[in-house]
Amino acid sequence: ARPRVGYYFTGKTGAEVPLAEIKERKVGEYQSIPVVVGESDSVYDAISAMFLEDVGTLFVVDQASRLAGVLSRKDLLRASIGKQELESMPVSIIMTRMPNITVCKKDDLLIEAASLLIERQIDALPVVNGEDNHPYEVVGRVTKTTMTKALVDLVQTERPLGGDRS
């Protein structure tokens, strides 16, 4: 006798979903909106932006809106305990500059971006458009928060993605 429809046991539970699925996920499926400041903005304005937008990393763009630098919370904390005036110091003095910025693209594998965060000991990667050796357009960000969410969503497939679990 065939089992009743609706009670068919496939022998697979959520816990047996193949890992192949997460291996093939792309950065573009997980990226968040980037938060950017201009390279002539002050360190004080950058700190304000970091609090207002509640992000741990800011990307710095030039006048043509191309990626010029990255500011971590650590960079801003280091500057803020220095003796200089934060209102008159441009972020370009303290930012990490191209070509020392690690970037990724939306078609890169999420897991490769996660590896880069660990290897380079950074909290976030800008997701960029454009050819290498040309100024990049910043189109997104992926962070350790992105990866923590991906781990939770991967394992807890019973729960709706992005749902409120509190």
Binding site for a copy of itself (CB under 8 A): 13-20, 22-23, 44, 47, 50-51, 54, 56, 73-74, 76-78, 80-81, 86, 111, 114-115, 117-119, 121, 123, 143-145, 147-152, 154-156, 165-166
In the complex, minimum distance from the CB of residue 126 to a copy of itself, in angstroms, rounded to a whole number: 17
In the complex, minimum distance from the CB of residue 98 to a copy of itself, in angstroms, rounded to a whole number: 20
d(CA 109, CA 31): 12
Instruction: Report the residue number, 63 or 166, with the smaller CB distance to a copy of itself.
Output: 166
- Dmax over CA atoms of the chain, in Å, equals 81
In the complex, minimum distance from the CB of residue 148 to a copy of itself, in angstroms, rounded to a whole number: 4
Tokens of 47: 């700190």
Class of residue 51 by CB neighbours under 10 A (exposed 0-12, middle 13-18, buried 19+): exposed
Instruction: Report the residue number, 118 or 129, with the smaller CB distance to a copy of itself.
Output: 118
Instruction: Report the residue number, 3 or 18, with the smaller CB distance to a copy of itself.
Output: 18
d(CA 137, CA 129): 5
Q: What DSSP letter does each residue of 14-36 carry, written as one string? A: GGG--THHHHT-BHHHHPBPP-E
- Cβ neighbors of 125 (< 8 A, separation 6 or more) are 102, 103, 104, 113, 116, 117, 141, 142, 143
Instruction: Report the residue number, 64 or 161, with the smaller CB distance to a copy of itself.
Output: 161
In the complex, minimum distance from the CB of residue 2 to a copy of itself, in angstroms, rounded to a whole number: 26
In the complex, minimum distance from the CB of residue 80 to a copy of itself, in angstroms, rounded to a whole number: 4
Instruction: Report the residue number, 119 or 132, with the smaller CB distance to a copy of itself.
Output: 119
CA atoms within 13 A on the CB side of 127: 25
